Amino acid sequence: MGDEIIWSYLAGIWEGEGSAGIYNSKGRPNGRLSVRISQANRPFLEWIRGFLGYGSIITDKRESLVPPKKSKVFAWSATDRCADHFLCGIEPYLRMRKAQIIPLLTR
């Protein structure tokens, strides 16, 4: 599978399951850029991390909203330059949430 196809796939995943923003961070007056994708499927998030070569996978504090309700939710996340790289990679393929990331890329 070519990189262009993977980036377009990641764009769709992020539009449905992801978030991005600039969050307050100690010692950073302009905040910290952060992106996140949450899933109940940890191996899928590990695949994303393997393709990108960066990011962290954590166990989210929330529980899954789909049965079984007690299943764990995991999140892949990246910050700063890695978050910027990710958003630049998915930006050409976004359909629904492009307007949300433009201010994050031009800050």
Check residues 67 and 9 and name the one with the higher pLDDT: 9
What are the start-end ranges of the H helices in the chain?
3-17, 42-52, 80-90, 98-105
Give the model confidence (pLDDT) of 57-70 as tens digits: 998 776 656 555 66
Domain of 74 in residue numbering reads as 3-105
For the chain, how many structural domains are there in total?
1
User: The domain spanning residue 91 has which CATH number?
Assistant: 3.10.28.10
**Strands lying side by side in the sheet with 18-25:** 18-25, 28-39, 72-79, 56-63
| Residue in 87, 102, 103, 106 with CA at minimum distance from that of residue 11 | 87
Q: What is the pTM of this model?
A: 0.87
- Residue 38 phi/psi, 5-degree rounding, is -105, 140
